[in-house]
Structure 1
């Protein structure tokens, strides 16, 4: 059901873990390089692939689609081809990815009567075409990021873990398809060039790195080189959340992980994450998750 994997590159190494849930396969991988480089990836497995770029910038050329994609950290899409051959150009020294492979027939069963975008995609699979859900890659927002972290840090075992992972694979499929539909219906795009998009992604990464002691809005704007108006509007457009809302989500998700994985008390966690009082933390936690920190600690 679960196996560790590694792969040596000429100028780096990939380490990861793969979960097998019946015929659905999930994998999380981190690739680290000693210098920016290019490598290839290929497979002859006839499956539908969901791809999540969690961290790092890279481009890849997908031979079966005859397309090249320029991607910055925090993106997702769904692709299908009977085989795939890619050339990946790493633009950062660390790349973190997550993937799900669905058997073709199972994916069609799930999606051929779903949203318009998924129905079009499923029809292409039925016709045996190499296809991609959207030419505009979706952004990994808070809900998607939280599901990915729940999978990676899952503490269940045996049959319960398998059931949990299966449910999360469907949840990610729904979130990914919904993000594409939202993007397709968006009339006015505020962040239009690659440089500004990279700066907005850098804002997200900065918040993730400093959840315990977050900078204020003016510090963030100065750090990435955007004015506050463009920062706020661009962040909202990209992640479907305000900067403060995203920070709050990340804090509380981290708090939940601490409750499950450590012996820290709720009071210690609230202090570490910068809450004014344990009661303030308790109220915010219950508002987001519907239960108190105490119940999470004692009923994981």
Structure 2
């Protein structure tokens, strides 16, 4: 019988060693996990799938050398521990540079994760992209100097259609050998350019913001607010309650949250609720009206409108249910 600790240790060793391998672990009642690691020219791919049952998994990802990480949350969800606990939403991506890899991630009980992590040496890739004129000065300085860590985990963005197509081609490469490596290398560089273009407006990805309206303490507090909302989005929340909990004034909460995360506080809460609703509709035998009621919507129409605004289709379409008056 494999214990939770043994599963966590095995997964952690795969990330630490970063060598080509393919592992599969299954322990009924606990979890099943698989990681495929592939080494390309200057990049290492980690294709991870984890499903938990009656236990959560907390994996320590440790490597002594610096690393640039492209991360794509393809399905489910997990939390990353970088001073605070942050959750990357489903179908979001982020980009990080860490002088030393010390990142923990946790998959909660009865949850699932499908994630693609691409790790590489930042200065080599920066040199290639500089030759192609693909980087602006800010990103080039960050990637080349290798001194200043940065992370967009807290400002993750939805995976675009272009990135989604590249991920699909990367994971389903039709070529073998050197041709396959060349094909995958080109896709990874294309995905990185897409990521950089998406984060170009987000100067908060650089470690220190220059916005004089927000102090470093304000920024840390706002990240704590976001982490709190990730855990309590089903609670009855208001701006007034959040202000009292975290000691911010209303202006800094509204302005700072929008500045850092490109959305309002209440819209972020609604989006988290909709992601949870989608998970319930996909994984559990509940009809759309029951889920709407569980999320506190007294009228199905309001729930359906919010859901469609988030995902582009109605909850009834997701469940394949007719739109009947209920």
Smaller-chain TM-score range?
0.5 to 0.7
Question: What's 2:185 paired with?
Answer: 166
Structure 1 range deviating more: 158-167 or 108-117: 108-117
Q: Is the 8 A contact 1:75 1:138 kept in 2?
A: yes
Question: What's 1:60 paired with?
Answer: 80
Question: What's 1:294 paired with?
Answer: none
CA distance in 1 between counterparts of 2:168 and 2:142 reads 27
Cα deviation code 1:153-208 (max 9, x no counterpart): 22211122111101110111122222223667998736745542234445777999
CA distance in 2 between counterparts of 1:176 and 1:134 reads 13
The one of 125, 128, 132 aligned to 1:107: 125
What's the TM-score, normalizing by structure 1? 0.61
Question: What's 2:100 paired with?
Answer: 83
CA distance in 2 between counterparts of 1:174 and 1:139 reads 15
CA distance in 1 between counterparts of 2:291 and 2:161 reads 19
1:116 deviates by 5.8
Q: Is the 8 A contact 2:122 2:146 kept in 1?
A: no
Question: What's 1:231 paired with?
Answer: 307
Spell out the pairing of 1:1-300 with structure 2 (5 A cutoff): 3-6=21-24, 11-37=30-56, 38-62=58-82, 66-91=83-108, 92-110=110-128, 114-115=135-136, 118-119=139-140, 121-122=142-143, 126-133=145-152, 135-181=154-200, 189=263, 192-201=266-275, 227-235=303-311, 242-243=312-313
Q: Is the 8 A contact 1:76 1:139 kept in 2?
A: yes
CA distance in 1 between counterparts of 2:51 and 2:278 reads 21
Cα deviation code 1:229-278 (max 9, x no counterpart): 4334334xxxxxx449xx9xxxxxxxxxxxxxxxxxxxxxxxxxxxxxxx
Partner SS for 1:73: coil
1:120 deviates by 5.4
Q: Is the 8 A contact 1:35 1:93 kept in 2?
A: no
Q: Is the 8 A contact 2:88 2:153 kept in 1?
A: no
> What RMSD, in angstroms, separates the aligned Cα atoms of the two structures?
3.9
Partner SS for 2:74: strand
Q: Is the 8 A contact 1:17 1:29 kept in 2?
A: yes
**Which blocks of at least 5 consecutive residues in structure 2 are unaligned?**
1-18, 205-257, 318-326
CA distance in 1 between counterparts of 2:164 and 2:291 reads 21
CA distance in 2 between counterparts of 1:149 and 1:35 reads 31
Give the number of equivalent residue pairs: 228
CA distance in 2 between counterparts of 1:189 and 1:219 reads 28
Q: Is the 8 A contact 2:43 2:119 kept in 1?
A: yes
Partner SS for 1:100: strand
What's the TM-score, normalizing by structure 2? 0.57
